[in-house]
Amino acid sequence: MMPKALIENGVLSAIEDMLENTLVGTGISYNIEHYQLKERLPETIELTLFRICQELINNTIKHAKATEIIVQLIKSIKNIVLIVEDNGQGFDQNKSSDGIGLLNLTSRLNTINGEVSYESSSNSGTSATIRIPLV
Amino acid sequence: MSKIKILLADDHQIVLDGLKSLLSDIDDFEVIGAVSNGKDAVDFIATKEKPDIAVLDIDMPVMNGINATREIKKNFNGVRVLTLSMHNEKGVIQTLMDAGADGYILKNSSREELEKGIRAICRGETFFSTDVTMSLLNQSTEITANNELPEEVKDLTEREVEILKLVAEGYSNKEIGERLFISHRTVDTHRTNLMKKMDVHNVAGLIRIALKSGLVD
């Protein structure tokens, strides 16, 4: 189901509402920044970005022991980029394997030629970068 | 003292009945109509009786509360509108305010809050649930590019600028390495140096600088 805010107001506003409603009471503060995102994006891209962001935020809440989340949504001529970064405990990229949430996320991305990459170390939090080409 | 005349619109019969009995219990309130969608609310005002205030649900078939608010505000001077919904979503609330709604109350509010809202609006004030007000305060930040390169960026090497740009375009170390024909470990070293030089401690900070410097088209 598409959230109402996503249909009516677009992905930025929907992500904001989701952060607000999900993070209330968790003690995690958030910050959302955007760049050149004046127009609406194609529906599939908006929905994918929203779902992925939701999954990443859930992972942060469940595993990261973070106190801050930064979300950046950037539109360039060629790409849409979504960064979700926390200041939590991070994870060891060599030891961990993808859970169902992340696999699901990757398969969503595959259908629109998107890529995901993670940067993480045990003391500087986790940052996930999603890039979706605009054709 | 004349009573406050109220028109209710909600597509869920039980909610409608509940609201009606709740509000009818208040001495100076009078529910003059209860309808099941926005169009019926507009028709009721046009053909039957003009209320002091219309209490509208947002999600309704035929005509939703947002469009009904617009119609009422356009055609019936003096009718105030209070919208009622379970959405605590800034975009929706913003749209409602733009449509001319005088207030917005969440369905999880108490009877007292609803009564307070109706009274405030009928006095000519606006009324928004406390939770709603909070969500309107939390705004996202738009980053814009300056024409001038910041000092930090001027000190970077050509290669570092190149990498910074690709990081902001969402490329991973591996992809950047492949594009520039260098190892991803080298890219990682460049990244670490970039962060040090620009005194930032996370990827978001790095990207913020790249965007502000106009490195991303």
The fraction of chain B above a pLDDT of 90, given in percent, is: 59
pLDDT tens-digit map of B21-76: 999 999 999 999 999 999 999 999 999 999 999 999 998 999 999 999 999 999 99
DSSP secondary structure of B123-175? TT--EE-HHHHHHHH---EEE---SSPPHHHHTS-HHHHHHHHHHHTT--HHH
How many C-beta atoms lie closer than 10 Å to residue B149's C-beta? 14
Nearest residue, CB atoms, B88 vs list A21, A82, A125 = A21
Least confident of A53-62, B102-111, B149-158, B187-196: B149-158
B138 has pLDDT over 60: no
Distance from C-alpha of B28 to C-alpha of B31, rounded to nearest angstrom: 10
B156 has pLDDT over 60: yes
Alpha helices, H only, chain B: 13-24, 38-47, 65-75, 90-99, 111-122, 130-137, 151-154, 158-168, 173-180, 184-198, 203-212
**Quick check: A81 and B170 CB within 8 A?**
yes
What is the least distance, in Å, from the CA of A103 to any CA of chain B? 18
Q: According to the model, what pLDDT value does residue B149 have?
A: 72
Distance from C-alpha of B42 to C-alpha of B60, rounded to nearest angstrom: 13
pLDDT tens-digit map of A116-135: 888 886 667 899 999 999 87
pLDDT tens-digit map of B88-117: 677 777 788 888 999 999 888 889 999 999
- A105 burial via Cβ count (<10 Å: 0-12, 13-18, 19+): buried
pLDDT tens-digit map of B2-19: 899 999 999 999 999 999
> Do the strands A126-133 and A115-120 form a parallel or antiparallel pair, or are they unpaired?
antiparallel
Can you read off the two tokens belonging to residue A112?
């629109």
Bigger pLDDT: B152 vs B61: B61
Can you read off the two tokens belonging to residue B28?
């100076």
B155 has pLDDT over 90: no
Quick one: CA torsion of A69, B152, A119, A26, rounded to 10 degrees? -10
The answer to whether B216 faces chain A, any CB pair under 8 Å, is: yes
Whether this prediction's pTM lies above 0.80 is answered by no
> Which positions ≥6 away from B202 have C-beta within 8 Å?
A70, A85, A87, A124, A125, A127
How many C-beta atoms lie closer than 10 Å to residue A13's C-beta? 20
B150 has pLDDT over 80: no
**Quick check: B202 and A117 CB within 8 A?**
no
pLDDT tens-digit map of A90-99: 877 666 666 6
Can you read off the two tokens belonging to residue A68?
């801050």
Can you read off the two tokens belonging to residue A129?
């970068």
The answer to whether A93 faces chain B, any CB pair under 8 Å, is: no
Q: According to the model, what pLDDT value does residue A89 have?
A: 87
Residue A9: pLDDT band by 50, 70, 90 thresholds?
A: confident
Q: According to the model, what pLDDT value does residue B50 have?
A: 94
Bigger pLDDT: B1 vs B128: B128
Distance from C-alpha of A131 to C-alpha of A34, rounded to nearest angstrom: 14
How far are the Cα atoms of B58, B69, B84, B90, B133 from residue B108, in angstroms, in the given order? 14, 21, 10, 17, 15
Residue B1: pLDDT band by 50, 70, 90 thresholds?
A: low
Q: How many CA atoms lie within 13 A of B152 on its CB side?
A: 16
The fraction of chain B above a pLDDT of 70, given in percent, is: 94
Residue B85: pLDDT band by 50, 70, 90 thresholds?
A: confident
The answer to whether the beta carbons of residues A86 and A68 sit under 8 Å apart is: yes
The answer to whether B142 faces chain A, any CB pair under 8 Å, is: yes
Q: How many CA atoms lie within 13 A of A17 on its CB side?
A: 22
- Residue A50 is given by DSSP the state H
Q: According to the model, what pLDDT value does residue B131 have?
A: 67
Can you read off the two tokens belonging to residue A4?
């109402």
Nearest residue, CB atoms, B203 vs list A20, A119, A131 = A119
Q: According to the model, what pLDDT value does residue A118 have?
A: 87
B135 has pLDDT over 70: no
Closest chain A CA to residue B66: A8
pLDDT tens-digit map of A51-109: 999 999 998 998 888 899 999 999 998 999 999 999 988 877 666 666 677 778 788 88
Nearest residue, CB atoms, A32 vs list B92, B140, B211 = B140
